[in-house]
Amino acid sequence: MSKGTLIIISGPSGSGKDTVMKELFKLMPELKFSISSVSRAMREGEVQGEKYNFISRDEFLKMIENNDLLEYNEYCGNFYGTPIKPVNDCIENGQEILLELDVNGAYNVRKKCNDCFSIFIMPPSFEALKARLVSRGTETAEAIEKRLKAAKDEIERAGEYDYIVVNNVLSETVADIATIIKSERMKSDRVSVTL
Amino acid sequence: MSKGTLIIISGPSGSGKDTVMKELFKLMPELKFSISSVSRAMREGEVQGEKYNFISRDEFLKMIENNDLLEYNEYCGNFYGTPIKPVNDCIENGQEILLELDVNGAYNVRKKCNDCFSIFIMPPSFEALKARLVSRGTETAEAIEKRLKAAKDEIERAGEYDYIVVNNVLSETVADIATIIKSERMKSDRVSVTL
């Protein structure tokens, strides 16, 4: 059986990435998702084991010590990381596994991994990005400014990715990502040539 | 305006490439096609300037001398080549231009060109390949054997291409190539990032 593929997806806060990902898994249920381990507290609406495995700081430190993580970083005092075993299992089973990472995580995984490709989800405009962040209505003006600055910094590194998808219309964005994934399946090193 | 892209398509005799190309241009009429210059005589059913520009051997030699060709080769005493000007014009105009080449032509163009990608069209099986060649009913058993051998040699180099598309069902093959072309449009170096 041919080996699987690691698909990295990034997008700044306000790019609409979460909704895109949800719809993508509906369209391509064969895709696997890498559940991150995090040491921060669970927020309202979050479910254990859905997008994140919430573990203690000590448990996280143990994972680091045991080399159980493909990548990790500390952000605002909390650890975020990608457990390596589910990723390796998918690759061995010839499956495609999606990793939702920030630009630094993406950079680190890209360096380590042979058979992966990466997609950056772009907000359609600065105004749309700002509007999305403001419409959440849960953050102070200062927090929004901070997120905007972070988003700009991430967007500046979009060129590090293999593909850039501009999230104008949700259904089109999802279709575009599906197009990329299907196209990548036809890469010559993933097709077995026997006649 | 962003620069255009050169798309190389190859496929051995009997892969069904010609039919695939015809259908592809119906589906994506925005694609340009590079008309080869050839020094051989026109065959029945061929139209001047459709797939080939038929020119004399002397005219061809002049094109070589003037560096008017992106690539060329001699096959069975006849010259085949890709005029460079239409290709450059398309690239400058931000268009996509398809070059139908054999494995050697593809190899030579790939070396010279910065922004190109290549697709190899595979026959679904050796039997299908043989059946297609025999069904033409125009060639001797010996000529068919020669074509089969040449096809096998080309297929062995399929790994040099970026993508491999197996031509099982015509409509699916055409859709697959369209998927690749659309996906390549989202490559980060072809997307202008301005926010």
Q: What is the pLDDT of residues B47-63, one digit of tens each?
A: 999 989 999 999 999 99
- Residue B121's φ and ψ, nearest 5 degrees, are -90, 120
pLDDT of residue A144: 87
> If you average pLDDT over residues A140-145, what whole number do you get?
87
Q: Given CB atoms, is A78 within the 8 Å cutoff of chain B?
A: no
In whole angstroms, give the CA distance from residue A176 to residue A184.
12
The reported pLDDT for the residue numbered B13 is: 85
- Yes or no, beta carbons of A162 and B187 under 8 Å apart: yes
Q: Confidence band (pLDDT; 50, 70, 90) for B2?
A: low
Is residue A8 pLDDT above 70, yes or no? Answer: yes
Average pLDDT over residues B7-20: 92
Q: What is the pLDDT of residue B113?
A: 86
State the DSSP H helix or E strand holding residue B183, giving kind and residue range, or none if neither. Answer: helix B170-184
| Residues contacting A81, CB < 8 A, separation 6+ | A36, A37, A38, A60, A63, A64, A69, A70, A71, A72, A73
Mean pLDDT across chain A: 92
The answer to whether B41 faces chain A, any CB pair under 8 Å, is: no
Instruction: Yes or no: say if B32 and B89 are a contact pair by the CB < 8 Å rule.
Output: no
Residue A108 in this model has a pLDDT that exceeds 60: yes
* Residue A67 pLDDT exceeds 70: yes
pLDDT at residue B139, rounded to an integer: 78
DSSP reduced 3-state for B102: coil
Which own/partner contact pairs does A75-79 have at CB distance under 8 Å and 24+ positions apart?
A: A78/A38, A78/A39, A78/A40, A79/A37, A79/A38, A79/A39, A79/A40
Q: Does the pLDDT value for residue A3 go beyond 60?
A: yes
Q: Do B123 and A195 touch (CB under 8 A)?
A: yes
pLDDT bin (cut points 50, 70, 90) of residue B66 is very high
Half-sphere exposure of B107 (CA within 13 A, CB side): 9
B180 Cα to chain A: minimum distance (Å): 5
User: Which of B126, B186, B193 lies nearest to residue A180, judging by beta carbons?
Assistant: B186
Shortest Cα–Cα distance, B65 to chain A (Å): 36
Does the structure show a pLDDT above 70 at A1?
Answer: no
Helices (H) and strands (E) in chain B, counts: 7, 9
Model-level ipTM above the cut of 0.95 = no
Residue pLDDT, tens place only, B79-114: 999 999 999 999 999 999 999 999 999 999 999 887
Tokens of A108: 């680190």
pLDDT at B143: 85
Q: Tell me which range, A130-144, B67-81, B134-148, is most confidently predicted by mean pLDDT.
A: B67-81
Cβ distance of A186 and B193 shorter than 8 Å: no
Residues A155-164: tens digit of each pLDDT: 999 999 999 9
Model confidence at B192, in pLDDT bands (50, 70, 90)? confident
Using a CB-CB distance cutoff of 8 angstroms, which residues of chain B are in contact with residue A189?
Answer: 159
Say what the pLDDT of residue A2 is: 65
pLDDT of res. A146? 87
d(CA B61, nearest CA chain A) in Å? 36
In Å, how far is A187's CA from the nearest CA of chain B?
Answer: 4
Pick from B100, B44, B40: nearest CA to B75: B40
Nearest neighbour of A164 by CB, restricted to B158, B176, B193: B193
Q: What is the pLDDT of residue B132?
A: 84
Nearest of A168, A162, A157 to residue A181 by alpha carbon: A162
**Which residues in chain B have Cβ-Cβ distances shorter than 8 Å to A15?**
none
One-letter amino acid identity for B8? I
State the smallest CA–CA distance between residue A138 and chain B in angstroms.
24
pLDDT at B1: 45
Nearest Cα residue to B177 out of B114, B117, B124, B129: B117
**Closest A-chain CA to B173:** A186
CB contact under 8 A, A183 and B183: yes
Q: How far apart are CA A71 and CA A106, in angstroms?
A: 9
Interface contact flag, A191 B166, Cβ < 8 Å: yes
The answer to whether the beta carbons of residues B119 and B181 sit under 8 Å apart is: no
Residues of A in contact with B152 (CB under 8 A): 195
Residue B140 and residue B44: Cα distance in Å, rounded?
A: 18
Q: Is the pLDDT of residue B154 over 80?
A: yes
Q: What is the pTM of this model?
A: 0.93
Taken in order B2, B9, B122, B43, the sign of the CA dihedral is positive
Query: In a 10 Å sphere around its CB, with 0-12 CB exposed, 13-18 middle and 19+ buried, how is residue A169 labelled?
Result: exposed
CB contacts under 8 A, A 156-195 vs B, are: 158-166, 176, 179-180, 182-184, 186-189, 191, 193, 195
